[in-house]
Amino acid sequence: MNQNDFLIQADELLQRIGDEKIRIYDASMNDAAYKQEHIPGAAFFDHNRFTDPKSPYMGTLLPDEALIDEIGAIGISNDAEVILYACGMLPYAVRAWWVLHYAGHQNVRVLNGGMDAWKKVGGTTESDIRLYQPSVFEGQTDPTLFASKEEVLAAIDAPDVATVDVLPLVSYEGAHIPGSICLPCLDLMSTMDYFLPLDQIATRLSEVSKHKRIITYCGGGIAAAVNAMAHVMVGHKNTAVYSGSLYEWLGEEMPVIGSGEWEIWKLK
């Protein structure tokens, strides 16, 4: 696999600014940073617009039809080239990538390094609020890309499935899904902005990649997308994010292992 199929570097984006085929979105979780400054022309990718308001758990996606309609509503069509970035928090942009990947968009990349990388290559910023004209997106969701709690429960005793906790070891030791292993998403990144080079990612995922299917989870389905996308980048497509993750798992009183001294590691 070619990492450039999934990531765009800041110097390339700098040369592409103004290209009418590109749709750039700031996928930071809070719009405060976006309103202060963002890459010229970028709109705000509001994660809340893609979350089911009827669910008690964060990270629960809208039903498929509503999700696809919402993607079109923010200006993304099938032939648009989509660039996603976040300010100081790569996982937010990767979560947005995973949502669009699930919905069947074939041309989405994450800006490796986000705003930090953009400024390092001399990119300017603006504060004007941008909105793209609504479009039509004809998506086809892939149900294998998100795992339900029932699948995760069944995977506890499945030797060909690796269930991966991507939170730091201290969180894993406090409470984790039985049978799951710990591979922190931080081990796949350089600071919170950049993915490691692809060869380093492949090395760190090598043991997990031996499994037929991989399910990643975290607190609310955001950090888990980092490991999931990393597996896809190295060619392991049979990978899913447990969207409910520990918020749902604990909320539904599913079995856990750990010391009990545990708090969900929240991305801030």
Residues 159 and 134 in one domain: no
Q: Is residue 265 part of a domain?
A: no
* Predicted pLDDT of residue 2: 78
Residue type, 147: A
- AA identity, residue 203: T
> For the chain, how far is it from start to end, CA to CA, in angstroms?
31
Vertex 195, ends 191 and 198: CA angle to 5°?
140
Domain assignment present for residue 102? The answer is yes
The residue from 141, 163, 197 where one domain ends is 141
Same domain, 21 and 113: yes
Same domain, 169 and 180: yes
Residue-level pLDDT at 59: 81
Could you tell me if 137 and 8 lie in one domain?
yes
Tokens of 202: 């492949």
Q: Are residues 23 and 125 in the same domain?
A: yes
> Which structural domain range is residue 36 located in?
3-141
* Separation between Cα atoms, residue 166 and residue 214, nearest integer Å: 12
Residue 135's SS3 state is coil
Q: Which helix (H) or strand (E) holds 224?
A: helix 224-233
**CATH number assigned to the domain comprising residue 96:** 3.40.250.10
Q: Does residue 25 sit within a domain?
A: yes
Task: Count the domains in the chain.
Answer: 2
Last residue of a domain, one of 81, 110, 141: 141
d(CA 24, CA 44): 9
Q: To the nearest 10°, report the CA torsion of 82, 187, 264, 144.
A: 50
Q: What is the pLDDT of residue 184?
A: 98
Please give the model's pTM, rounded to 2 decimal places: 0.95
Quick one: angle between helices 64-73 and 90-103, nearest 10? 110
Q: Do 12 and 85 fall within a single domain?
A: yes
The answer to whether residues 124 and 195 belong to one domain is: no
- In terms of domains, do 151 and 111 share one? no
From the list 184, 260, 231, 242, the residue with the least C-alpha distance to 58 is 242
Residue 160 covered by a domain: yes
* Closest alpha carbon to 103 in 87, 80, 86, 85: 80
Residue 30, pLDDT score = 87
Last residue of a domain, one of 141, 165, 187: 141
Domain identity same for 177 and 78: no
Whether residue 241 contacts residue 145, with contact meaning beta carbons closer than 8 Å, is answered with yes
In a domain, 173, yes or no: yes
- pLDDT value, residue 263: 56
Q: Would residue 258 count as lying in a domain?
A: no
**Which residue ranges of the chain lie beneath pLDDT 50?**
265-268
Question: Does residue 212 sit within a domain?
Answer: yes
- Look at residue 260 in the predicted model and tell me its pLDDT: 59
Q: Taking the CB of residue 107, how many other CB atoms lie within 10 A of it?
A: 16
Looking at the fold, whether 88 and 112 belong to one and the same domain comes out as: yes
- Do 131 and 217 belong to one domain? no
Assess whether 105 and 150 both reside in one domain. Answer: no
> Nearest to residue 126, comparing CAs of 19, 268, 26?
26
Burial (Cβ within 10 Å: 0-12, 13-18, ≥19) of residue 41: middle
256 in any annotated domain: no
